[in-house]
Structure 1
Amino acid sequence: MLWQAQNGPVDAITGDYLAEVNLAENAEKYAAGTHPGWVETALGGIKLSLDVINEKKIKVVLDGGALNPKGLALEVQKMIREKGYDLKVAYVYGDDLLPRVNEILDPQKGLLAHLDHENDSVKLAKDTDNFLGDPTKPIVSANAYLGSRAIALGLSQGADIILCGRVSDASPVIGLARWWHGWSETDFDELAGSLIAGHLIECSAYATGANFSGFEAYPNEELINIGLPVVEVLHNGECVLTKHDALNGFVTEDTARSQLLYEIQGSVYLNSDVKADLTDVSIKQVGKDRVHVSGIKGRPPPSTTKLGVFYQGGYQCEFTQSATGTRASIRKKFELVELQIRDRLTKQGKLDDFDVLLFQHIGVPEENPSSQLAGTAQIRVFAQAQQQATLYLLLRALMWHGMQHFSGAHGSMDFRTALPRPYLGYYPAILEQSLLDEGVFVLSKDATADNLQGVNHSAGHNSVTEPVGRRANYEPTNPVPLASFSETQTLPLGTIVQGRSGDKGANVNLGLFVQTDEEWDWLRSLLTSDQLKKLIGLDWKDEYAIERVELPKIKAVHFVVYGPLHRGISSSPLLDGLGKGFADYIRAKYVDVPVKFLKK
């Protein structure tokens, strides 16, 4: 935050501190009085930067209030009062529905629809909704994803620093742009443009060189102390993505395309303020570290928003063992580990007590290895169950065979992850925005926790909405015969294709793109849904589903793969529970690449 304030001109600073799970992880501690409820680094950032913020009159809008935005606002107000600054603080309320969640989820009224319910092809993971009415799985947090209305309202009332809880990641940018440019709630093209502007900068340095598949073309030294992105939102909703010159990193069409494609739902990106149609999005380099983004169209928002519900799902544990040898011998060693454990649990009559019991092989050894580590692979055992005692049986089964292990078994002596620990289940629901009581409270200068002085402003609701609708899903438009590209060479897809992937609850999104028109004709013709299934390989399961769209002006094919992350990151059994490595896995798969592209 201090770097953004110090190293160049900015009118406002936004901050996205909330992943889907970290609200829930602290909810029980907050309820018990052992956690402040807000993200402590958000307060630390403001404390570090407040002098510069005051000097430059920079507006600040953060979601670091988490479970307790009022508490964070009061802490900031106290800090401002002590320094004698003339800054007005406000907090946004209305996202926390935990006090009402049992009423909202009343079985007599029917469970709130799952976020993916409109896709008939989607099969929800086992136990996705089994928490309903189960007293052993209490709900620990339920937060709605708010839009920009309360933020823009607070700014119009003179607030300089606004602390939010669970707003959507881009809402601070939308709210600032809406207030700055004086847009109305029906300026949908402009709002949609600011939604994408917010999306481009919401993920730290992901638009300035981090998490970038093309990083190998740059010296590693450029990727140390990367500057965070800055977005200039124009009056028509278009934007320029850039960064401060004084900081490391780089902003190119490729870093912008990568971040645009990250964790989107397809060609229409949803927010409780607006729908952003990305079909004709265009990204153009207009200078060093300056990329212009245009072509985004807006439509009325849905009447609904997302409600993230987390509940106590049970217990889980995991442990790994290492093996060294040839590929064939390691495969047989890992098969023995699974056979021994399953045999012991079966003889005890306890195998069926596990909700999840997986044996995952990680890596393959180098042939004729150059070192022992190069010739080593691991097996990861992951388990979930309703009772801690069930998971302790897994440990005992491992210990039972402790001296009957395969040749050369070894690994870390730290077994802390093997001890049962609680995990949170996740249910992303769809909630009518009319059920929200959303607003902003602007604190007076003398406000304290014991004397909450200030003015409350209700944000109301959207006056114009439209149904979510089915998301686009289609195979290549006017495909070009792959044979027409002439001579090919079998190489990793990533030789010429860049990409980005991430999690959307239980699902993984994947965006892949190329540079030239001819490469685009090849990529979109090659990457059918069936081809992606082949590239996924042994990880593909018939219960998964795929949606596919094309974004021709940025030469990208985008997929959503429904189901691989099970119930989402808080309880996903995958090693890559956030789906971040999925794009690089697909890019590592071999395909027939036209030789003419390699010559370029």
Structure 2
Amino acid sequence: MIVKESRWDQRGKRPARIANVSGARTDPGYHMRRQAEWGDVDFLTGDYLAEINLPENKKGMDAGLHEGWEPTCWDGFVQTIDLIAQKELKVIVNGGALNPAGLAAKVQELVNEKGFSLKVAYLSGDDLTEETKDQIVRTGQIPAHLDSNNPDVKVEKLAVALQDYQARPVITSHAYLGARGIVGALDGGADIVIAGRVADASPVIAAAWYWHQWKPTDYDQLASALIAGHLIECSAYTTGANFAGFDQFDLDLFVDLPFGIAEVANDGTTVITKHENTTKGIVNADTITCQFLYEIQGAIYLNSDVSADTTNIVIRDIGKNRVQMSGIKGYPPPPTTKLAVFYDAGYQCQLLANAAGYATEKKWQLFEKQMRFFLNERGVLDQFDHLEFQIVGVPEPNPRSQLRSTTYCRVFAQAPTEEAISQIFPAWADHIMQHFHGKYHLTSTRGLFNRLHWSLDYRTAHPKPYISFYPGLYDQTALKEAAHILGKDGKVAKTIDAKLPTEYYHLERRINFDAEPYTLRNPQGPTRTVTLGDIAYGRSGDKGANCNFGIYPRNPAHWDWFRGYMSREKLQELIGDDWRDTYFIERMEFPELKAVHFVVYGILGRGVLASTLLDSLGKAFADYIRAKTIDIPVEILEL
């Protein structure tokens, strides 16, 4: 009799096939089903968390309006549980958010209803809310800032507003856990592991670690899995989403994209791909390089389980929609992990006004003067943390339509109290009939003024409480992480304590070096003005208050000139009027990728939840820089 080999009998004999099912809580549940249905995989992993989930879930739970876990994650289980059982898949997700135990119990009920024998587990240990509150009240000190080890970084005053803990109380506080607790759950027999705030790549690290039965000191392999995890954890970012070169392809390829799959071999070498039976999406060296440059922050990427040296990473096409990643070096993990502290920061609002055409600059100067005057008259002008008048757009010269002549002024305000914010709208109303020439007056659908129109986004022109995020550091040896495996009755049948690292990486100053000038054959030769994006791809994104930015030439022959051109001084010049002397630029190069990478510290203010920027996530920064025109030597263009 021939006995069919189980999927799990193949562990370590071939690469682990790990499929991402989510990169944010907005990703619909059907992505989990698709990844299980469309082809053969071993693991389904999902990242449902961002800085906004946990505090919003906490407030919802306190109000009795939220279960604490992510509904889209639950929907994924509802749609996929039959396939999970049928195909013997393992599932690792952080969709438990603030209440992983609650989601685990609900999934266990689903398993019981279906009559399956799947074992469900959840993690604990990331929620440090009460400990953080106690520390601040008892000592008067907040946790060390994430960037405190870098003396070149100037943390803005409001970034440590948490120090005023009575006026700005802690909502919730969470340590970023690694893969150890997940591996413990899998070793304990769990089929489905539901976590809260584990690091984004931890589910993928755990999947590969468990599949290949690595040791905790197999640092090269763990480091490779860390980078593989970051390559696939952002939904479709490796299959064509957020891709700088999208305009070179048929746009239909980017509609309803599939999510990525990582095939992680025993030595850590990884192939990024997608299911073959979908014609949508693109996986090539450029989509993967762009995602890599977005996710990392300098040469060494720190995770709770391992420190990854990415300096010599190699990314290359090895087939259609198949890209190999290798060259990662691993070291022990750092002694600290990231601590995400969320607190009530005060109130904010936004008001959008618009104007057409002629003399626009003077119009917005007048508008700001009027607003400041009437806010002063109301006695609140000096009470704002931020009061900004951001001009959005430039009117087209000799416009072809009125809309192409239109710009917006975005009045954005934040204050510790509701009173100051409540005066923004009345101050606008005070001078509405004293407006500049060419102001838009349209019929309102909002009811307060029948003949006047204002455009408001979700923040509105009326006070709304807002949350801020403080990135801190937490001693790994103080973590009390555990995995809890449920019985069929939904109660904890077994608890497995996560093992702590046995050694730690000595943190050093981050690699930071400037460009070496390139020597032209003919320094006085002709140049040509080009748009930077026409010769270079890139990607950018937020890391708290800081913006990651990677850029590389489309033509590898341009590399020696390009890396000499893209200096810290040049980037500061390209940032233009947005530059502030409080910012700090860190720069390094990836020689195998022929890419330059920057971190611009402080440019996103306090980060996404409290940022005053339209581009609060920093994702548009790369294309702002790529839209600049530069003069490039003709001898380089001819290479």
User: Which TM-score applies when normalising by structure 1?
Assistant: 0.96
Question: Among residues 511, 526, 529, which one is paired with 1:490 in the alignment?
Answer: 529
Question: Among residues 489, 497, 504, which one is paired with 1:465 in the alignment?
Answer: 504
Distance in 1, Cα, partners of 2:479 & 2:525? 58
The residue type equivalent to 2:407 in the other structure is: A
Question: Among residues 10, 17, 33, which one is paired with 2:64 in the alignment?
Answer: 33
Distance in 1, Cα, partners of 2:524 & 2:105? 64
Distance in 2, Cα, partners of 1:382 & 1:27? 26
**1:95·1:143 contact (CA, 8 Å) conserved in 2?**
yes
The residue type equivalent to 2:583 in the other structure is: Y
Q: Deviations over 1:487-507 (max 9, x none)?
A: 321121111100000000001
Distance in 2, Cα, partners of 1:268 & 1:486? 39
**1:15·1:202 contact (CA, 8 Å) conserved in 2?**
yes
Report how many aligned residue pairs link the two structures. 594
**1:107·1:133 contact (CA, 8 Å) conserved in 2?**
no
Q: Deviations over 1:327-385 (max 9, x none)?
A: xx111111111010111222333211111100001011111111111111111000001
Residue 143 of structure 1 is matched in structure 2 by 174
Q: Deviations over 1:278-330 (max 9, x none)?
A: 1100001000000000001001110100000010000000011111113xx11
Change over 3 Å in CA distance of 1:52–1:599 after alignment to 2: farther
Q: Deviations over 1:196-241 (max 9, x none)?
A: 0000001000110000010001111000111101000010011000
The residue type equivalent to 2:398 in the other structure is: N
**1:493·1:589 contact (CA, 8 Å) conserved in 2?**
yes
Please tell me whether residue 455 in structure 1 is matched to residue 487 in structure 2.
no
**1:360·1:379 contact (CA, 8 Å) conserved in 2?**
yes
Distance in 2, Cα, partners of 1:232 & 1:142? 34
Deviates most, 341-350 or 564-573: 341-350
State the identity as a percent.
47
Question: Among residues 560, 566, 586, which one is paired with 2:599 in the alignment?
Answer: 560
Question: Among residues 136, 143, 148, which one is paired with 1:112 in the alignment?
Answer: 143
Residue 347 of structure 2 is matched in structure 1 by 315
Please tell me whether residue 398 in structure 1 is matched to residue 428 in structure 2.
yes
Distance in 1, Cα, partners of 2:521 & 2:435? 50
Which runs of 5 or more structure 2 residues have no equivalent in the other structure? 1-31, 443-452
Change over 3 Å in CA distance of 1:340–1:478 after alignment to 2: closer
Moved over 6 A (4+): none
Please tell me whether residue 331 in structure 1 is matched to residue 374 in structure 2.
no
Deviates most, 554-563 or 114-123: 114-123
What is the SS of the residue equivalent to 2:432? coil
Please tell me whether residue 504 in structure 1 is matched to residue 543 in structure 2.
yes
CA RMSD, Structure 1 to Structure 2 (Å):
1.6
- Cα displacement (A) at 1:546: 0.5
Change over 3 Å in CA distance of 1:346–1:433 after alignment to 2: same
Distance in 1, Cα, partners of 2:345 & 2:253? 43
Distance in 2, Cα, partners of 1:53 & 1:181? 21
Question: Among residues 602, 605, 622, which one is paired with 1:583 in the alignment?
Answer: 622
Residue 417 of structure 2 is matched in structure 1 by 387
Residue 132 of structure 2 is matched in structure 1 by 101
- Cα displacement (A) at 1:107: 5.7
Alignment of 1:134-213 (within 5 A): 134-213=165-244
Which runs of 5 or more structure 1 residues have no equivalent in the other structure? none
What is the SS of the residue equivalent to 1:184? coil
Please tell me whether residue 438 in structure 1 is matched to residue 481 in structure 2.
yes
Please tell me whether residue 543 in structure 1 is matched to residue 574 in structure 2.
no
Distance in 2, Cα, partners of 1:35 & 1:483? 67
Residue 219 of structure 1 is matched in structure 2 by 250
- Cα displacement (A) at 1:483: 5.6
Please tell me whether residue 277 in structure 1 is matched to residue 309 in structure 2.
yes
The residue type equivalent to 2:489 in the other structure is: D
Deviates most, 16-25 or 477-486: 477-486
The residue type equivalent to 1:534 in the other structure is: E
Q: Deviations over 1:1-52 (max 9, x none)?
A: 1111111111001001001122112211113322100001000011111111
Please tell me whether residue 420 in structure 1 is matched to residue 450 in structure 2.
no
**1:266·1:471 contact (CA, 8 Å) conserved in 2?**
yes
Residue 445 of structure 2 is matched in structure 1 by none
Distance in 2, Cα, partners of 1:386 & 1:483? 59
Distance in 1, Cα, partners of 2:381 & 2:270? 56
Deviates most, 353-362 or 390-399: 390-399
What is the SS of the residue equivalent to 1:213? coil
Question: Among residues 401, 407, 418, which one is paired with 1:377 in the alignment?
Answer: 407
Distance in 2, Cα, partners of 1:295 & 1:321? 52
The residue type equivalent to 1:587 in the other structure is: R
**1:200·1:207 contact (CA, 8 Å) conserved in 2?**
yes
Change over 3 Å in CA distance of 1:485–1:12 after alignment to 2: farther
User: Which TM-score applies when normalising by structure 2?
Assistant: 0.91
- Cα displacement (A) at 1:115: 0.4
Distance in 1, Cα, partners of 2:312 & 2:275? 28
Q: Deviations over 1:75-97 (max 9, x none)?
A: 00000000001111000111011
**1:480·1:521 contact (CA, 8 Å) conserved in 2?**
no
**1:280·1:553 contact (CA, 8 Å) conserved in 2?**
yes
Residue 53 of structure 1 is matched in structure 2 by 84
**1:485·1:594 contact (CA, 8 Å) conserved in 2?**
no
Deviates most, 195-204 or 239-248: 239-248
Change over 3 Å in CA distance of 1:484–1:383 after alignment to 2: same
Distance in 2, Cα, partners of 1:371 & 1:482? 48
The residue type equivalent to 2:487 in the other structure is: S
What is the SS of the residue equivalent to 1:92? strand
